[in-house]
Chains A and B, each alone.
Chain A
């Protein structure tokens, strides 16, 4: 009964389990540990995420393996076991006999065509063995490492965390109040998983897929001769020939915009007005008043002029300076007249 309960718990948690036979072997070794420890190990190992069916198979394999071990100890032996062994012998690859027994047990437990499933499982195991052998030899293509690294999904903790929380919430209470904290926890888990994902991008050896582009020194000092008149004429001719009449209203508007007939939208009020001056240059214009006498009506007048200019947002600084200079010139011309007064 405890086994069945545990299996249910394992079903609930879409925990990522080891897909390799090494993992299965480990689990077989840990058969002596408590089932709780097993569950914790599974949750702790965050490796390749396997489909649900495979997980089921593996769980059942672990269960059946225990059963098989118990049965083997006893006098009775399953009829399918020797068959599996003979099939392996025919293929010529020495598979782990325990795995073979587990596969046969699984095949027998599943409701479909037992022999077919058994053969499929054995083929899978063989493939796994081959890959592990190759990896041990070190002759695998680098791409495999790449892919194996790439298949690492960091979203699993968030996923099954969310699933657990959602299922628990659904089971315990179907109030709306419960779902809110679960959502926040799921979001926090997602953010954490996100961080994991980003960390995993920097971690890992270089793939050497792209060669670093050789940054050529920019030919800024290339002496380009200015286009001659003939070049310009030729260019104009070519443009005139290749320019197609606009096919629709949009192309017409595009052409108008290029020619300057139509404004560019969204309308920028400051088109053509490039005022790079700071605000203090607009407002504090007293420094331009140096050419004027410091007292008298002229000074008074000019100070009023400056006051008006400082409040004028439509003129550029250059225009304001020109304004003041014009007055200066005007008053200098009238100096004789002023001195008579």
Chain B
């Protein structure tokens, strides 16, 4: 019985445990601005449903206007970082706020660097 339990535990551990060879794990964000952006994203995710529902009440022609004004106040009372508008799509590697391509989440400089070293799958220098 104990052996069976051990076997089960072994199997579970084997699947979850990382390999013995060390792997590069990023434990820091590139800079504080990136960190703040990450916090804003998390908050926006948490309050997304609420914001959607309150906005549904606000942007309405059926409900009475008093109700909508109350909803306005409520949504303004939510934390500022919970709105998705404050999220900035920064470069994932350099935290550059501008010149970021959405598909790769990389700034143009990093993208170019990797593409020239043939580390971007399916990306080729344009020539026509």
Contacts and interface: CB of A to CB of B under 8 A. Distances in A.
Contacts of A259: 16, 18
A326 B51 CA distance: 12
Interface string B55-67: 0110010111011
A239 B10 contact: yes
Contact of A227 (B8, B15, B21, B66): B8
B61 to A, nearest CB: 10
A297 B64 contact: yes
A222 interface: yes
B6 A341 contact: no
Interface stretch (A70-78, A145-153, A230-238): A230-238
Contacts of B17: 236, 239-240, 243
B13 A236 contact: yes
A255 interface: yes
Chain B: number of interface residues, binned into ranges: 20 to 34
Contacts of B33: none
Interface in A134-182: none
Contacts of B62: 297, 300-301, 304
Contacts of B70: 334, 337
Interface in B75-91: none
A301 B58 CA distance: 12
Given A227-B9, A231-B6, A235-B12, A240 B20 contact: yes
A227 B5 contact: yes
Contacts of A300: 62
Contacts of A246: 19
A273 interface: no
Interface string A215-245: 0000000101111000110111011110111
A225 B53 contact: no
Contacts of B10: 235, 238-239
Contacts of A330: 53, 57
A245 B21 contact: yes
A56 interface: no
Contacts of A301: 57, 60, 62-63
B20 A232 contact: no
Contacts of A231: 2, 5-6, 9
Nearest to B50: A326
Nearest to A226: B5
A298 B21 contact: no
Given A224-B4, A227-B6, A255-B19, A297 B14 contact: no
Interface in A179-225: 222, 224-225
Given A243-B17, A255-B19, A305-B56, A234 B6 contact: yes
Interface in A252-275: 255, 258-259
A182 B10 CA distance: 63
B20 A245 contact: yes
A243 B14 contact: yes
A227 to B, nearest CB: 4
A341 B9 contact: no
Contacts of B49: 323, 326
Contacts of A235: 6, 9-10, 12-13
A338 interface: yes
Contacts of A224: 1, 4-5
Contacts of B64: 297, 338, 341
A232 B16 CA distance: 12
B5 A225 contact: yes
A304 B57 CA distance: 12
A292 interface: no
A239 B14 contact: yes
Given A258-B15, A304-B62, A323-B49, 12 more contacts: A224-B1, A225-B2, A227-B5, A238-B10, A239-B17, A243-B14, A244-B20, A246-B19, A255-B19, A259-B18, A298-B63, A301-B57
12 contacts: A225-B5, A231-B6, A231-B9, A235-B9, A241-B20, A243-B19, A245-B19, A298-B63, A301-B60, A301-B63, A330-B53, A337-B67
Interface of B: 1-2, 4-6, 8-10, 12-21, 49, 53, 56-57, 60, 62-64, 66-67, 70
